[in-house]
Amino acid sequence: MRIDIITVMPELLESPFQHSILKRANEKGLLQVHLHQLRDFGLGKHRQVDDYQYGGGAGLVMMIEPMAACIKSLQAQRNYDEVIFMTPDGATLSQTISNELSLYENLLIICGHYKGIDERIRDKYVTREISIGDFVLSGGELAAAVLVDSIGRLIPGVLNDGSSALTDSFQDDLLAPPVYTRPSEFDGMKVPDILLSGNDGKIEAWRYEQSIARTKTRRPDLLDRE
Ligand code: ADE
């Protein structure tokens, strides 16, 4: 998969993709993330990318010309399955959305800043709008990093143990069960005996029960979903 990201702050996105799982995904040739500085398409000698909003009001709005030029130059090189705008008024990111996006070949992500982006960019180029939650960030970059991380780990072959992504919380609308590692006892706190029993069937049943119990107490809304 290839993910292109348009941003005025590429520095914010450089580090997240250079570590751990996403770094490995890149080394394995499974995920390439390319950052594009919107300012390279800015207007005039100041490379302007934002301007005052029509109708008045505080806050600058990202202009359509630089964004359109940047998007068009990328679309001339490949077809994008989705052009995604990160915005607090988009659909809330879920495991279902990440699963769906992880099957695509080419994604283009647009990070907004300031007061927002000219609505015509959304009307003309954007095919999907995603929020990472009901709170406002200063820009779309951190939200884009969250989205890419959640998609990247689902691409087949990225995780060493392919089954591991399937047992994540939310993958089947249940929260994941508790996990333990050595030592088997710490300060009098013991790992549940069943996990040391070697009985795979019983362990699986215990984990399932724990998942249900945890979901009932922490996120009962998940159990009511279709
Ligand atoms: N940009 C600003 N806030 C955001 C949010 N909550 N989700 C996605 N993009 C954003």
CATH code, 79:
3.40.1280.10
Angle at Cα 146 formed by Cα 145 and Cα 148, nearest 5°? 65
C-beta of 143 in contact with ligand 1 (< 6 A)? yes
Separation between Cα atoms, residue 173 and residue 90, nearest integer Å? 21
| CA 216/CA 101 separation, integer angstroms | 28
138 and 191 inside one domain: no
Write out the chain's pLDDT in tens, 226 residues.
Answer: 999 999 999 999 999 999 988 999 999 999 999 999 999 999 999 999 999 999 999 999 999 999 999 999 999 999 999 999 999 999 999 999 999 999 999 999 999 987 899 999 999 999 999 999 999 999 999 999 999 999 999 998 998 776 677 778 787 889 999 999 999 999 999 999 999 999 999 999 999 999 999 999 999 999 987 6
Q: Decide if 160 is inside a domain.
A: no
Q: 132: how many CB neighbours lie within 10 A of its CB?
A: 20
Please say which residue of 152, 180, 211 terminates a domain: 152
For a mutational test of ligand 1's pocket, the pick from 94, 131, 148, i.e. the residue with the most ligand atoms closer than 8 A to its C-beta, is: 131
Beta carbon of 116 within 6 Å of any ligand 1 atom = no
- Distance (Å) from CA 130 to ligand 1 centroid: 8
